[in-house]
């Protein structure tokens, strides 16, 4: 059994021009129960998270919400290097204030996602995972989602088999909650690279292109994200990490924010630099 608690406050520039900052507080409290009998041939995990979103600006208070999120993940390792994966994921998304008119809508919903698939190694160097299923949005008002869910990835380990050197290529599609037209659908190819230079140092590079559309509206997004990072182990119990992420939305769409009367361009470019240290005890 694992308990977790996380509080995060962001003070960042919004994705579109506004007269106020985008300050947000997020608190997540959760617990995971794990059961893995038979030398982990069978693995079952039940997770529950209670998430609170609060925007400090009154103009964005209609985006404040509470999320109850439960996931049941099941793995059956029926071959030495291959497992059957079955997952059920359900959320209860409740907004403090629901808005059913204008460009920004906030309808309560209960998204349900059911997926299954296989994950395993074909050879010592090639691994494949493929999952698929279906998801439903169950929105109280407006458009609701009913979409196929797919995630497939091929990985290749190069160099020494004892290292973490990996190249991977994947594709995913599904849907997510949104304040435009209730939800969005997405198609996302992605790729990545990881290499260990010594026992203490590694480098990671990954990128994705997510193509979003919002059913019932004319909005479309092309979201590009590229991340690079390096990690260094000072000792067995102390490590340092540094990373850089470039994110951009290539779109000419504008949105009318009724609460402030602004029309904002939805295109943006964002650069994020992160530094972190971790102590294991």
The DSSP symbol for 62 reads G
> What tokens does 218 get?
């004319």
pTM here?
Answer: 0.86
User: What are the residue ranges spanned by the domains of the chain?
Assistant: 2-279
Residue 162 phi/psi, 5° resolution? -80, -10
- Who wins on pLDDT, 2 or 38? 2
User: What count of Cα atoms within 13 Å lies in the side-chain half-sphere of residue 280?
Assistant: 8
Per-residue pLDDT of 65-111, as tens digits, reads 999 999 999 999 988 889 999 999 999 999 988 876 655 678 899 99
Among the residue ranges 10-14, 63-67, 135-139, 157-161, the one predicted with the least confidence is 10-14
- Concatenated DSSP letters of 188-248: EEEEEEEEESSSSEEEEEEEEEEEEE-TTSS-EEEEEEEEEEEEEESSSSEEEEEEEEEEE
Cα 198 to the chain's mean position, in Å?
A: 30
Mean pLDDT rounded to a whole number for the chain: 90
**2-279 sits in which CATH class?**
mainly beta
Please, is 86 exposed, middle or buried when counting C-beta atoms within 10 Å of its C-beta (0-12, 13-18, 19+)? middle
């Amino acid at each position: 059994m694992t308990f977790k608690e996380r509080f995060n406050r962001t003070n960042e520039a919004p994705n579109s021009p506004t007269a106020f900052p985008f300050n947000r507080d997020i608190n997540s409290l959760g617990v995971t129960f794990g059961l893995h009998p038979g030398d982990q041939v069978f693995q079952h995990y039940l997770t529950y998270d209670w998430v609170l979103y609060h925007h400090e600006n009154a103009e964005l208070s209609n985006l404040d919400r509470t999320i109850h999120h439960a996931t049941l993940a099941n793995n059956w390792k029926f071959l030495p290097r291959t497992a059957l994966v079955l997952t059920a994921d359900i959320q209860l998304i409740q907004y403090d204030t629901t808005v059913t008119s204008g460009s920004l809508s906030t309808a309560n919903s209960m998204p349900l996602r059911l997926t299954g698939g296989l994950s395993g190694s074909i050879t010592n160097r090639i691994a494949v995972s493929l999952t698929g299923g279906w998801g439903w949005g169950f929105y109280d008002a407006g458009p609701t989602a009913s979409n196929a869910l797919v995630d497939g990835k091929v990985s290749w380990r190069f160099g020494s088999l004892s290292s973490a050197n990996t190249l991977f290529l994947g594709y995913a599609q599904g849907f997510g909650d949104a304040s435009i037209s209730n939800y969005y659908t997405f198609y996302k190819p992605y790729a990545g690279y990881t290499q260990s230079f010594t026992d203490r140092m590694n480098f990671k590079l990954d990128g994705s292109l997510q193509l979003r559309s919002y059913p019932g509206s004319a909005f479309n997004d092309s979201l590009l994200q590229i991340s690079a990072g390096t990690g260094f182990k000072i000792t067995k119990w102390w490590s340092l990490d540094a990373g850089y992420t470039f994110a951009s939305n290539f779109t000419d769409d504008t949105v009318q924010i009724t609460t402030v009367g602004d029309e904002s361009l939805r295109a943006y470019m964002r650069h994020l630099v992160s530094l972190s240290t971790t102590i294991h005890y």
